[in-house]
Every structure is written in structure tokens, then in C-alpha cells.
Amino acid sequence: MEQKVCIAMVPCPGLSHLIPLIEFAKLLVLHHNNFHVKFLIPTLGPPTPSTKSILNSLPPNIDFTFLPQINIQDLPPNIHMSTQMKLTVKNSLPSLYQAINTILTSSQSEKNNLVALVFDVFSSDVIDIAKKFNLLSYFFVTSSAILLKFCLSLPKLDETVSSEFMDTTKTFDIPNSKVSFKVKDFPDPVLFGRSSETYKAFLLLCQRFSLVDGLIINSFKDLELDAIKSMKDFHNVYPIGPIIQKESKSKENLSKCITWLNKKPKKSVLFISFGSGGTLTNEQINEIAFGLESSGCNFLWVLRVPSKLSNSAYFSGNHDSDNDPLNFLPLGFLERTQNQGLVVPSWAPQVEILSHGSTGGFLTHCGWGSSLEGLVYGVPMICWPLFAEQRMNAAILTDIFKVAVRPKIDEEDWIIKGEEIARVIKIIMDQCSRDGEGLKLRRRIEDLSVGAGVAMSENGSSRIALSNLVLKWEEKVITQKLKCFPHMN
């Protein structure tokens, strides 16, 4: 009889962290049907309808439990989003301990064989639970291998480098790698400064990477070979990506978008979306509208109610039923562009849009999930980072992968002007010039798209990495059985 293996996964709050773990779990059980996955989900307030819908559609060998809600009033006020996520998980540890204990004492054999905890980087306190139950522990990294390399280097950098490390006018080399970044593109917590509690918490997280049994990365070897090779001397690294959604979980605006795209020429449409949590100011919305109109490019724009806080929709989705986002567009914009563009409120089926033949460009906030979707579907990008690690992702897409352009911010008003938006749109959507920048970007990303498919194929590098990880977990089950029944040895 085939031995059942159970893995528990602990995400942190936020759909952009939950969805990659879910897709990983689905990939795992699809190719290794002797596995059972249990999601144990810390929550900050009630789960959103989108979250419930995604979880209720899981296959039978994946199930989930919501841990008791953490009250936002119990957290310190005005803390950074990353600290908020980390504290939500930390405050859920007693409930998590009980949940894992219940799994281990269950009469169901597949759950008795719980061997590992897989958790998000902001769920690092779960390491302590893993050690208490003698379970293997793994970070699931929902960012690039290059960014992970930066995080692994941060503790030593903090000890050895001068104040230039925090000088946003400088460019900094990442140790033992072939890449460098402008300091101003470092992740948010680093830019808060060494004396801030946010930075100290992030540094502690980076120090804890050395405590786990392995690092599971949503990337692939041919995309980030140097970064992955540089980590293998110190960690068990499993690049098992690109793992993306095969279809959008919400069908909101699906028919409307696809019907409209079907009427447009091949690769003629620019898709504009700022992910599940990004928002813009009203002034910036006006500038985008001006840039789109003056560019003459076909566009499909997902628009949210404006906010001065760029991540205001991160936890809630910002589906503001009292305000129609379209009311915030410049007067007459929709009428003037009715044959040029489509604006949909709040949500659109991103996977179906990016994979559609009429889509030729992607203006994105540079979340890693969206970046991978652009890569997989071979759509060159305009980088518009908003928060978290998105500025570093933007630098990776433009300077290292060379599949994107990045508009310049007007440093007087700290917005991106309409003229600049029109300029980068014309670069990315140019299909006429044989030697133009747009064509080079398109050829480069099409090559990477092919490489992504090869990595995920049956004998590809990512499938091999997943098989190596599975073997580790299966060996743990056998070891546990031998300890319980030494006469079997």
C-alpha cells in the first residue's frame, strides 16, 4: 500500500501570498497523488469572498482551516504592512500549535504522516512550532531568487557596511552575485532605516532563513541561474516555478473583457492592472488617462477608487460599493476613448487577458506573481512599482531580465506625467521598427516564455527540483515509522 504523506502550509495574510502557495499545493498533489496538503490560515479579520471562493474550489486532497481571527485593534497602530502580516501570524501561534497537534493525533493515516511545515517568509515564527513537533521546515519564497539572495546577504551587510548602505543616492552590489541595485529600489523595510522597528523585524526575518531545512522558490533555474547557484552552497534550494494560476479565480468582468479583446488586432492592447492591492491617487489616475488617450494605443484598464495609500486594497480588495471607480476619470475620457479602450472597475481576469492573442503589453505594479504571469505569457511590461519589494522586482525586470521599461517619476510632483506614460507605451507597443527597443523586449520575453515552459515540463529543471523535495518528505515518513516501530528496521 502506498505511503501517504501530509504537508501543512501556513500562509500570511494577503491574496498575493496565499495564491502561490495554493498553486504549489495543487501542483504537488497533481504529480504526487500520495500527498495530502492541509492549509492552516492565520487571519486578520474575516476572510474576503475571493479567499473563500478560491479555497472552496480546492481538490479533495487539499483542505483548509481558518485559525481564529486576530483583531487589528490588538496590533500596534500605524505599523508597516509587513510587520502587520508578521504579527498576525505570531499572534496565531497558540491556535496553530493546537491545530498541528490535532493533525498529528488524528486517526486518519494520511494526516498522521505530517512531516513538514511550508510557510511564507512573513510566517517565520512558524519555525518554532516545527521544531517543537520535530517537523521539517521550509520557506516558500513568493519573490525572485535574486531578492532572496539579497535577503540572505542582509545580516552580513548590516554588520559590515557603512552608512552608504542606506544612502538612497548610491548603487550597491549584492555580495557573491553579478547584480547591483540602486539603494532607493531596496524593499520598503530596509528603507525605513536601521533604527526603525520595521527594519529590525525584517533583519530578524532574514537571519532566520538559515534555520529552515530548505527554501522553495517560485522561479526557475534558467531565469535566475547565478542567484540560485550562489545559494546552493549554504541552503537546500528548490526552484520549482514558475507557478502561476491557470485561470482567474474570479470571473468578474470575464465575458466583458474577452468579448472586447476578441475585436482587437493581435498584440495591439495594453493591459493595465496594479494587482490585488495597489491603488493610485486621483491625480495619478488623471495622468494615466491623459497618457493613454494621447498614445492612441488600445488599452484595457482595471481601475480602483483612488487613495493616497498605495496599498489600501491589499487586505480588503477595496471593492468599494459606495463609489464607482469610473466616476474618478477625467470628464469625457470614456466618451473620447470608447473605440480605443475599455475600463473595468476593481477587478479583471488577469490570466485570461494576458494569455489572449490581442494583448501586446502589460503595465504592472511588479508583484512577483504578476511578473511571472507576464513572463509565462510572453507579454513585455511597463514597470510601475508601488510598495513592498516591487521596486526591486522592477529593476530585475528592466535591468537584468531586460523584458520591461520603467517610466521616470517627475521628482517635483512625485507622479508620473502623462507625456512620460505615452512615451513608454509607444516603446512597449511598437511592432513596426525592426530594430526598435520594443521588438528587442518582445523577442527576449518570448525566449524566456519558452524557457519557462521547458522548466515545468516532465523532465524540466523545476519538475526535477520538485521531485527531489518530494523524495525528502517521503524519506521523513519512513524515518518516523522506523522510530515508532524499531522492529521494522
The answer to whether residues 103 and 38 touch, using CB atoms and an 8 Å cutoff, is yes
The answer to whether residues 233 and 197 touch, using CB atoms and an 8 Å cutoff, is no
State the pLDDT at residue 1. 45
What SS3 class is residue 206?
Answer: helix
State the pLDDT at residue 315. 56
State the pLDDT at residue 483. 66
The answer to whether residues 439 and 430 touch, using CB atoms and an 8 Å cutoff, is yes
User: In angstroms, what is the C-alpha Rg of the chain?
Assistant: 23
What SS3 class is residue 139?
Answer: strand
- The distance between the two most distant Cα atoms of the chain, rounded to a whole number of Å, is 81
302 φ, ψ (degrees, to nearest 5): -90, 115
Is residue 73 classed exposed, middle or buried when 0-12, 13-18 and 19+ CB atoms within 10 A define those classes?
A: exposed
Q: What is the pLDDT along the chain (489 residues), one digit of tens a residue?
A: 466 899 999 999 888 889 999 999 999 999 999 999 999 999 988 888 888 989 999 999 999 999 999 988 889 998 888 889 999 999 999 999 999 999 998 766 555 689 999 999 989 999 999 999 999 999 999 999 999 999 999 998 888 876 667 788 888 888 777 889 999 999 999 998 888 988 999 999 999 999 999 999 999 999 999 999 999 877 899 999 999 998 987 788 999 999 999 999 999 999 999 998 899 999 999 999 999 999 999 999 999 999 988 876 665 554 555 689 999 999 999 999 999 999 999 999 999 999 999 999 999 999 999 999 999 999 999 999 999 999 999 999 999 999 999 999 998 888 999 999 999 999 999 866 566 899 999 999 999 999 999 999 999 999 999 999 999 999 998 887 666 655 445
State the pLDDT at residue 45. 83
Question: Which are the contacts of 172, defined by CB distance < 8 A and separation ≥ 6?
Answer: 164, 165, 180, 181, 182, 183, 186
The answer to whether residues 16 and 276 touch, using CB atoms and an 8 Å cutoff, is yes
Residues with catalytic annotation?
17, 120
Q: β-strands 214-217, 237-239: how paired?
A: parallel
State the pLDDT at residue 330. 97
**Cis status of the peptide bond prior to 242, with omega within 30 of 0:** yes
The answer to whether residues 238 and 466 touch, using CB atoms and an 8 Å cutoff, is yes
What SS3 class is residue 300?
Answer: strand
What SS3 class is residue 143?
Answer: coil
The answer to whether residues 63 and 31 touch, using CB atoms and an 8 Å cutoff, is no
Which domains, from first to last, does the chain contain?
5-243+457-488 (3.40.50.2000), 254-452 (3.40.50.2000)
Quickly tell me which residue has 519555525 as its cell: 127
If we measure between CA atoms, which residue out of 121, 321, 81, 326 comes closest to residue 206?
Answer: 121
Task: Give the CA angle between residues 55, 58, 60 to the nearest 5°.
Answer: 130
DSSP 47-107: PPHHHHHHHHT--TTEEEEEPPPBPGGGSPTT--HHHHHHHHHHHTHHHHHHHHHHHHT-S
pLDDT in tens, 449-464: 999 999 999 999 999 9
